[in-house]
Every structure is written in structure tokens, then in C-alpha cells.
A and B are shown apart, each in its own frame.
Chain A
């Protein structure tokens, strides 16, 4: 079966006065039906811009300069605004980090949800309201009938995020892009949202692209993982092999930086330096300046993706843990 989403060679650049910022610079990945892909990276790695590109939310000075985004076989790059209105909500939805950005603060929840329903389906006001109420009930909001009449500020942070998820689910899109939806939430509330999403995706077969910086969340939720660094996917593969035997020094460094994995009190295996400016990327590998295993060819030539068995790929001249992959 064809994948729900197939992104190939995507380049999204921002043309600013300070120079061209290559936020996404040759990203390729795919998501199968019902699959959860964890898109992991630190700030400025281009993970959110990748999500925005799929949704057609890149505004000037940004532009998709190259590549293709195929959603259920349909090319999205070059689609006009009218075309995107058809796609958004019905075929792909997005959940953002801050639900207050999704929800209009001066409209009641029912107004916003009914509008979202009737945007794609010709149904009566009453039927749309019923569908909205059912969606709220499905994401675990108590007394959904009364809550429909509330304004966004009357909800707590966790409940607001549930409303945003309910809106995303209204048209049962085959793909939802989640951009750090639990980052701002407390641990126990994050756990509630993750449990809801897990259950909903199992019921409806919705595929997820879960954008996050939290490797712990990805480990618990995702089937596959793609690690981004400076606008490129540097490593991809199923969750277990990537986290157990990372091939890319950056993935390995990220895992070593996690306080939970180290011996309490012992120094963490930190990555030195900080992320390079996307407007002035070095000629060779973008990670070379911070890499412990850097060699002469890393500085001269940016590495291409090397495929490995088990649908793994790594963008590195000298991958680690090769023994673990062969075994």
C-alpha cells in the first residue's frame, strides 16, 4: 500500500536580509497508514518547518524551493491556497504546541468546532454540533455538552489541548501532524494526552508525525524515528535499533546527554559547542564542529544518506556501532 505521506528532497528556505536560512535542506521521509513517526531534533533543527511545509503554512520570506510532498498520492508542493483549504482538516490536520494559538479566544468552542465541521461537510448546524460534542467526549472531556458553550480561557492547559485534538479529529484525517503538543504540559497531564492519542490512533488507524525534542516521549509512542540536525534528517529507522545502537554520533550524543540514562552524579556525556547558524552552514558535515569522531573528509564533503538493513539510514561518513547493525 502506498504511504500516507511521502516527502522527498524537501527544501524550505527563508530568504532574509541576513542571508538564506536553510531551515529544511533536503528532507525525505514517509509515513505508512496507522504508523507513528517521531521527528526528533533540538531547537532550530527544522522539525517544525518540515511540519509547516506539509500543511502549506510557509509564509514569505520562506518558500519551498525544491522537493515534493505527496499526501495519499497527491502532490502538495505548488498547490494554491484554495487547494490547501480542501486538504487541511480533511486529509491532514495539525496540533500545535500552544493550543491558545489554535483556538480563537473570543469565540466559544462550539462556534469554532461547527465551523470546522461545515468547512468540508454539508451538514446541518445541529448535526455539526452533535459531531463536535462526540469529538469532545472521545478525547475525554467531561460533560461535553456544557463545555461546548465555554470559551477557550475557561479550560485548563491540558483540556485546551484536548479541544485542539478534538478539532483535528473532526474529519478523521488519515494523517495528523503533532508539533510538540505535550511539551507545555505537566507530566501527569502529558501522560493523559499521550494515552488518548494512542487509543484514538489505534481505533481510527490515523498516522501521526510526532514532532518533539523529547526522546522519552518518542520511545513510548513511535514506531519509527527520524533525527533531524541543522535542516537534515541525520538518522532514521525503527525506534529500537536507533535508540539501542545509534549510528550517527549526534544521535549517540543526544542519548548520552539525557540525565535519566547516566549514572546519578556522574558527568553527562555532553555534546560540545552549540548548533550552527542555519544561514552559515559549513561546507562539510553540519555536525563536524561538535563531533568527537570527526575526520578530514567530514570537513570537506557533506555526507549523503547511507542505507542500512532494516530500512535504516544515516547521514555520516563514519557511522558508529557498525558491529551492532551487521549482527
Chain B
């Protein structure tokens, strides 16, 4: 087994809404307002090996995008450590950190809000490599043309603005921009979610082609299990800020172990299931402001017991490379651990 290229150790990200002046004043008079804290990501451990595609799955509010942003360096972790190629990011020198930041690039969901509408494609794609000295200014144009070719866009379009492209082409521009700084690791946050099926297939094929050509590693964030299944070597499922299950893709889709993973997989519409009876999970996704005690999933879990309400389940290895955080696989849900 090769060494991991990127490791997260107990990474948490909290967003705090500070008290406004009125609440502070009310507190002076005896009111009991406290700061609101969202635990978007709650001590997540994850390691990703060179050349691997890791799919990160979950429903809205589960913290998958926040985790992706911590990995890409857009957010700093509130606690825990991120290491890149064996070095902790908080111990890196400024130069090392810059190199690591360039090596990890992010591709966003909505190309229209992540591309500057007032810049031409040649500047959107070419600006960063010129600024970082990867390409001399004089060669920017030919370099951009090369990048556009690589992502399957007509390179004569490079004088155009983003609004002159279709959704699928804009997605390709976003990919070209990320590739322009010669990254080794791509964080794709719902990068194909807004695309039509036929265009989505084109972009997924492009992602796989680039992976082979450039030896890239992906953290592929999506709510769409079929996309993740198609692309990923390993799948990580999150619920309310915590990882509930992680396993090699084929194994996870064959036999999910956590009740949430089971429900999620059973509820994915598939063209193989005709006139099926939908048997949904009960209840709503709880607010991350006030997550349930113990196991976050226990209010919706059909198999929950008294222990689930109190004790947070730890991630346990149940088969090689297959971990799940559920008391069912760790001594049962009934009695409380002594």
C-alpha cells in the first residue's frame, strides 16, 4: 500500500455566530443568550492515497462541502490537523504552503458563480499560472489554448466571456482553470450536479480521462450516489458532520453496514426498479445547530436502542478497509457501555 498523499486527523470545523450588541446587552441584564455554534465537520479522519478517487457522499447539511473546503485550504480547520505529503500544513513554511495550495485545486458546482463574468476565458484560465510563474506572460495565450484542448473545448473560443458558453462548456472552463496550475489533487464539489444527463456523462468521462493522463487524485463530493459509484475507488458517507461509513466502492454498494448508508442506498431511484414501493426513512435531517445526542442518526434509525441516544459510536473496522460508526457492529445497541 502506498503512503497517503493527504491525511486528515480529527478535523473539525465550527462556525460560530457571535452575539450581537442587543443580545450582549440583554445578557448584562440577566438574559441567557449564548453563541450559536454549527459543528459543520465533527472530528473527521480521512486519508487519501496517491491516484485514488474518493467519493464523499451525504445529504444537504452533512458537512461534505465544508470538509472539501478544509482540504482545499479555503477554510482552516477549527481543530485537528491536515497533512499533505507527510507534512502538517500548520508546520509548513510559507513557501511549502504555497506549493501545497497550488497542488490542491477545487472545482465548484456552479460555474456561473465561480467564473468572473467580466473576464475572458484566456484570463480566467491563464491568470493564475502567469502570476505563479509557471508560464511566462508571452506564452499565456498558447498555454490557455493547450488547456482548452485538454478539456475538450475549441481553443478558438478563448477570447469569449463565460456567458457565451453553455452549462457543459462552463464546467469545462472551470476544470481548465483548476488544471492550469498543474495540480496533483482535485477537490470536485458537486461539479456535475447542475448538468443535464447527457452533458454530465461527457464531463464524467473527461474526469476519468484526465485522471489517467495527469495521474490526478480526486476528492469527489456529490449527493448523487450513482455518480460516486461510477467514479470512485473508495466511498465515504457523512451524516451531520460525521463519517458514518467508509469502504471500497464496490464493497460499500454491495453491502452497506450502517443503517443510514443502507437507507440511503435503498432510496436511490434507479431505472432497474420499476413501479417500486418507496419505503422511505422517517423524519427529517436534524439541524446541525442542535444535533441529536449520542449517535446523530438515532432519531431516524429503525434499529436504534438506548445506547445510541447516549454514546457516540466510534468508527470501527468491520472488514479490511471497511469502517462504520454504529453500535450494531460494536457490541449492540441495548446496554450502555460500562
Contacts and interface: CB of A to CB of B under 8 A. Distances in A.
Q: Which of B166, B169, B223 has the most CB of A within 10 A?
A: B166
B189 to A, nearest CB: 16
Given A215-B271, A265-B208, A186 B198 contact: no
Contact of B271 (A156, A258, A272): A258
B230 interface: yes
Contact of B285 (A186, A218, A221): A186
Nearest to B61: A186
Contacts of B328: none
A141 B166 CA distance: 40
A274 B199 contact: yes
B264 A188 contact: yes
Given A190-B267, A264-B230, A254 B277 contact: no
Contacts of B201: 256-259, 268-271
Nearest to A197: B278
Interface in B211-231: 223-227, 229-231
A85 B294 CA distance: 53
Contact of B284 (A189, A190, A213): A189
Interface string B171-215: 000000000000000000000000011111110110011000000
Contacts of B231: 259, 264-265
B273 interface: yes
B269 A217 contact: yes
Contacts of B278: 191-192, 194-195, 198, 220
B226 to A, nearest CB: 4
Contacts, number: 141
Given A219-B271, A269-B201, A271-B201, A259 B226 contact: yes
B205 A268 contact: yes
5 nearest A-B residue pairs (beta carbon): A216-B269, A260-B226, A257-B201, A259-B230, A195-B278
Contacts of A258: 197, 201, 226, 271
Nearest to B265: A187
Q: Which of B60, B231, B278, B281 has the most CB of A within 10 A?
A: B278
Given A264-B249, A269-B201, A274-B166, 7 more contacts: A188-B263, A189-B285, A192-B281, A214-B269, A259-B200, A260-B271, A271-B201
B198 A271 contact: yes
A297 interface: no
10 contacts: A187-B264, A188-B59, A190-B269, A198-B277, A220-B269, A260-B271, A261-B271, A267-B208, A270-B198, A274-B168
Interface string A146-162: 00000000001011000
B59 A257 contact: no
Interface residues of B, number: 46
B268 interface: yes
A191 B280 contact: yes
Interface in A212-251: 213-221, 223, 239-240, 243
Contacts of A134: none
B31 interface: no
Given A186-B59, A269-B201, A260 B267 contact: no
Interface string B152-171: 00000000000000111100
A169 B276 CA distance: 23
A228 to B, nearest CB: 12
A265 B204 CA distance: 10
Contact of B250 (A191, A218, A264, A272): A264
A111 to B, nearest CB: 24
Contact of A262 (B230, B269, B281): B230
A239 B200 contact: no
B290 interface: no
B227 A192 contact: no
A32 B263 CA distance: 33
A255 B272 CA distance: 11
Interface string A171-203: 000000000000000111111101100100000
Nearest to A264: B230
A3 interface: no
A253 B278 CA distance: 27
B203 to A, nearest CB: 9
Given A191-B280, A259-B229, A254 B268 contact: no
B223 A186 contact: yes
Nearest to B253: A264
Contact of B202 (A187, A194, A270): A270
B270 interface: yes
Nearest to A195: B278
A321 interface: no
Contact of A192 (B167, B229, B280): B280
B15 to A, nearest CB: 20
A124 interface: no
Given A187-B267, A260-B226, A42 B198 contact: yes
Q: Which of B60, B168, B264, B274 has the most CB of A within 10 A?
A: B274
B29 interface: no
B44 to A, nearest CB: 20
A188 B229 contact: no
Contact of A257 (B197, B209, B229, B263): B197
A191 B267 contact: yes
A189 B264 CA distance: 10
Contact of B197 (A188, A192, A254): A254
A186 B240 CA distance: 13
Contacts of B28: none
A283 interface: no
A76 to B, nearest CB: 30
B21 interface: no
A216 B200 contact: no
A43 interface: yes
B22 interface: no
Contacts of B230: 259-260, 262, 264-265, 268
